[in-house]
Structure 1
Amino acid sequence: MTDLSAWAWAALGLAAVITGLSKAAIPGGSTLAVVLFAAVLPARTSTAAMLLLFIVGDVFALIAYRRHAHWPTLLRLAPAVIAGLLVGFAFLALAGDGLVRRAVGVILLVMIAITLWRRRREDRRDAAAAPRSGILLSSTYGALGGFTTMVANAGGPVMSMYFLATRTQVQVFLGTSAWFFAIVNLVKVPFLAGLGLFTPSVLLMDLILAPLVVVGALVGLRIARRIPQALFDRLVIALTVVGSVYLLF
């Protein structure tokens, strides 16, 4: 921690605020926070540090949206998500920081590309078309979501795309996402602890940054219905592309 510059701490602080905002108001916005953490810290360390901050944000997401969850959807996703988590854990255990860092960049770039493709496709699709659902869809998104959230805390875009594909209503989207990540993030704790990633430095860093997550979440709850979503999405995508390219090279 003493090796971090003032700019590094500023980036981490901004990432903490964005984490709170994303949990309370902007689903998927946490991708930018992941990029900022991975750009400042070693890849595996950033994954552990972000996890604890996400759990703080999950508390506020549950407070706001806990009653809107669709539990059959969560149960349908569970087997594939567990498989993805186990594969992601094996990858973290075997891969070095350099490979994990590049994997974070690749994962985020792929998620952005698929998100943009899906949006373009949705714009062209007839609004009256029947929503897609089924075991194949839930298995694919569930496994990829489990893997990406274990390796890079980047499961948000994957699950957002799943809920878009199934045409989930907004409130159900937010409630189901809140419970999904609250449960998954708690499940991840013993896995990362087993790899020895929760060092005293990581815990102290999160203790310092946690109040900023709370601030971001409180602000998010106030502006959830006022923020210009389209503009924010474009900014997040643009900054995430820049950050992802930086992680790769």
Structure 2
Amino acid sequence: MGLSKTGFGAGFGALAVPLMALAVPVPQAAAIMLPLLAIMDALGLAAFIKEFDRQLIKLILPAGLLGTVIGTLLFGVLPAKVVAGVVGAITLLFLAIRTVFPPRADAPPPPRWLGFGLATVSGFTSFVAHAGGPPISFYVLPLRLPPVRFTATMAVFFAAVNASKWIPYAWLGLIDLGNLSTSAVLAPLAPVGVWIGVRLVRRVSPTLFYRLFSLGMLLTGCKLLWDGIR
């Protein structure tokens, strides 16, 4: 997750909760990850805060926060594994479309209404299982931002979305001493991934960057879909 927070291999980030859910229930896994995400978000913002796309954030951030509100209202009603399966299926469908019909260099950017809708879905899936990366990527990837600007924009978006989860998670009873203790044990690993990712994302070519991103989304889509159907 730390590596993914810098954009380098960002598709892998959505695997964190499903993998942790092999050992603990999904809500507990999400609660354990939240303090770790706060650390990673702070480090990511420190590295990239000056380089995000302001116009894009004005579009997607309000939608992402709306998604967290929807997630709060539906938490416990819609099983997290159902959400994971849907996100996995959509992720694989998106990758298949991009492989069969690769975007042209002169293709127009996707419509803004699609960005608002996908950002809302991203806020919802991020709230339920910290799996917000794939939905918002469907809109942002075709914009062909430079890797650093893409990373900076995603850092700002998810830092705000993750910060908005604290009060709802506490209200839902997910913030407790046991989960926070586990977070504290894992916390020293968070800066390591971010440190590695910050250095890699500034050195790799855009082509390699987006290929690695797609690989991460492929593996994430397969894992999330498997969680949903097994």
Q: Given the two structures, how large is their TM-score scaled by the length of structure 1?
A: 0.80
Secondary structure of the 2:39 match is helix
Kindly state the Cα deviation for residue 143 of structure 1 after the two structures are TM-superposed. 1.4
C-alpha distance 235-138 of structure 1, shift in aligned 2 (>3 A): closer
Q: Cα RMSD (Å) of the superposition?
A: 2.4
Counterpart residue number, 1:21: 3
Kindly state the Cα deviation for residue 226 of structure 1 after the two structures are TM-superposed. 4.7
C-alpha distance 156-232 of structure 1, shift in aligned 2 (>3 A): closer
Contact 1:107/1:148, CA 8 A, preserved across alignment = no
Counterpart residue number, 1:127: 105
Kindly state the Cα deviation for residue 235 of structure 1 after the two structures are TM-superposed. 6.0
Query: What are the Cα deviations for residues 25-61 of structure 1, in whole angstroms up to 9, with x where unaligned?
Result: 3222202222212222101111111222122111221
Counterpart residue number, 2:94: 115
Counterpart residue number, 2:84: 105
Which amino acid is the alignment partner of residue 130 of structure 1? P
Query: What are the Cα deviations for residues 155-192 of structure 1, in whole angstroms up to 9, with x where unaligned?
Result: 11112221113333322211111111111100111111
Counterpart residue number, 2:126: 149
| More displaced 10-residue stretch of structure 1: 174-183 or 111-120 | 111-120
Unaligned residue ranges in structure 1 (runs of 5+): 1-18
2:214 paired with 1:237 = no
Q: Given the two structures, how large is their TM-score scaled by the length of structure 2?
A: 0.86
Structure 1 stretches of at least 4 aligned residues deviating more than 6 Å after TM superposition: none
Query: What are the Cα deviations for residues 107-127 of structure 1, in whole angstroms up to 9, with x where unaligned?
Result: 33124223313422552x321
Contact 1:84/1:144, CA 8 A, preserved across alignment = yes
Contact 1:31/1:154, CA 8 A, preserved across alignment = yes
Distance 2:200 2:148 in 1: 16
- Give matches, 1:65-80, under 5 Å: 65-80=48-63
Query: What are the Cα deviations for residues 123-164 of structure 1, in whole angstroms up to 9, with x where unaligned?
Result: 2x3211222232x21221121111111111111111222111
Distance 1:242 1:233 in 2: 14
Which amino acid is the alignment partner of residue 108 of structure 2? A
Counterpart residue number, 2:164: 187
Contact 1:28/1:156, CA 8 A, preserved across alignment = yes
**Identical counterparts, % of pairs:** 30
Distance 1:174 1:232 in 2: 11
Distance 1:238 1:84 in 2: 24
Unaligned residue ranges in structure 2 (runs of 5+): none
C-alpha distance 140-232 of structure 1, shift in aligned 2 (>3 A): closer
Q: Which residue, out of 150, 162, 167, partners 2:144?
A: 167
